[in-house]
Structure 1
Amino acid sequence: MKYQLDKSQINDLSCAALYRPNIDYFPPAIIACFIISDGWDVQALLELKGKAGADILVGLQTDDHKYERLDIIEGIVRCQPDEVNDVIALLDAKSASTIIGIDVADVISLFECGYSFQFVQASATGESEFHMIKTATYKMIGLLTNARNTKGVLIGTQSVQSLPLEAFAYISDAIEGLLSNDNAFTYLSSSMTDEPNCFRLKAVYAEEK
């Protein structure tokens, strides 16, 4: 698991942003995300990448339809329709709010681990911070069972206040203990929420080919 200072504030570009078809303004972002079922074609995606000044394109698949693979897309993340904003927030390196964070290069490196990715998340509520962390981590391990051989996983924590380093160590040890691939790309980031008595874990992992 990689621990590092979040240096993503070195410029004013957004890390990740969601774009919808037929928009008039393309705010710049390094990672341009789009929902595949919105009907984007190759020409529209090329235009999106150019106008947004994006380094990579990431498609979000919110249904079970089989889509043609496009070489101009770096990766596809499968998620539920109501999880789209959660995926964007996880990929947005600038949302990291403590010294435990990721930068844009880390997120781009994740999409070098494969083409098909899965988003999962787990949460816990209660008065005890450690109990919530332990419960959410246990749930996340269950969701990552099929990712034992993954080449890359990005984990994000979301809490009301900054977590102690011991909490990050507990989470990372549990996840790394699950993975059988010693060379897996694994990063842990953190962000804040105003939802009281709640702790969340979110993850995007590369599916096996």
Structure 2
Amino acid sequence: MKYQLDKSQINDLPCAALYRPNIDYFPPAIIACFIISDGWDVQALLELKGKAGADILVGLQTDDHKYERLDIIEGIVRCQPDEVNDVIALLDAKSASTIIGIDVADVISLFECGYSFQFVQASATGESEFHMIKTATYKMIGLLTNARNTKGVLIGTQSVQSLPLEAFAYISDAIEGLLSNDNAFTYLSSSMTDEPNCFRLKAVYAEEK
């Protein structure tokens, strides 16, 4: 698991942003995300990448339709329609904690681990912070069963207050213990929420190369 100071706040350029085909203005972002079912074609994606100044394009698949693989896209993340904003938030390194975080290069390197990715999340509520962390981690392990051989996984925590380092160590040890690939790239980031008595874990993992 990679621990590091998050220095991505040095500039105001967003790490990840969601774009729609009918917008007139393409605000700059390093990772340009789009919903595949919105009907983007190759030319529109090329224009998006150029106008947004994006380093990579990431498609979000919210249905079960089989789409043609495009070389211009670095990766596809499968998620539910109501999880789109959660995926964007997880990929946005700028929203990570200044204590434990990831940088833009980490997110980009994740998409070098494959083309097809899956988003999963787990949550727990209660009065005891450690109990919520244990419960959510247990749920997340169950969701990551199919990711034992993954080459890359990004884990995000979301809590009301900053977590102690012991909590991050517990989560990372549990997840890394599940993975059978010793060379898997694993990254852990954290963010805050104003939802009381709640702890969430979110993950994007590579399904294939």
Q: Answer whether TM exceeds 0.5 for this pair.
A: yes
Overall identity of the aligned pairs, in %: 100
Note the aligned Cα RMSD (angstroms).
Answer: 0.6
Structure 1 consecutive aligned stretches of length 4 or more whose deviation exceeds 6 Å: none
Provide the secondary structure at the position in 2 that maps to 1:181.
coil
Distance in 1, matches of 2:192 and 2:37, equals: 31
Q: C-alpha displacement at 1:87, in angstroms?
A: 0.0
Instruction: Return the offset for 1:10.
Output: 1.9
Deviations 1:17-70 (A, max 9, x none): 000012111000000000000000000000000000000000000000000000
Q: Distance in 2 between matches of 1:52 and 1:181?
A: 35
1:46-101 deviation line (CA, Å, top 9, x unaligned): 00000000000000000000000000000000000000000000000000023100
Query: C-alpha distance in 1, partners of 2:198/2:98?
Result: 18
- For the 8 Å contact 2:20–2:38, the answer to whether it is kept is yes
Q: Distance in 2 between matches of 1:196 and 1:20?
A: 33
Contact 2:115 2:208 in 1 (8 A): no
Which SS does the other structure have where 1:14 is aligned? Answer: coil
Contact 1:122 1:200 in 2 (8 A): yes
The TM-score normalised by the length of structure 1 is 0.99
Output the CA distance in 2 between the equivalents of 1:35 and 1:208. Answer: 20
Measured in 1, the distance between the counterparts of 2:164 and 2:33 equals: 32
Q: Deviations over 1:169-207 (max 9, x none)?
A: 000000000000000010000000000000000000000
3-state SS, counterpart of residue 195 of structure 2: coil
8 Å Cα contact 1:98-1:191 kept in structure 2 = no
For 1:132-172, what per-residue CA distance to the aligned partner results, in whole angstroms no more than 9, with x for missing partners? 00000000000000000000000000000000000000000
Q: Contact 1:137 / 1:201 at 8 angstroms: preserved in 2?
A: yes
Q: Distance in 1 between matches of 2:208 and 2:112?
A: 13
8 Å contact kept, 2:155–2:204: yes
Equivalent pair of 1:98/1:162 in contact (CA under 8 Å): no
* 1:199 alignment partner, SS class: strand
Note the alpha carbon deviations across 1:94-127, whole angstroms, 9 max, x for none.
0002310000000000000000000000000000
Q: Which stretches in structure 1 are left out of the alignment for 5+ residues? A: none
Match of residue 144 from structure 2? 144
Matched length: 209
Task: State the TM-score, normalized to the length of structure 2.
Answer: 0.99
Q: Give the secondary-structure state (helix, strand or coil) at the position aligned to 2:15.
A: strand
Distance (Å, rounded) in 2 between the aligned partners of 1:181 and 1:7: 29
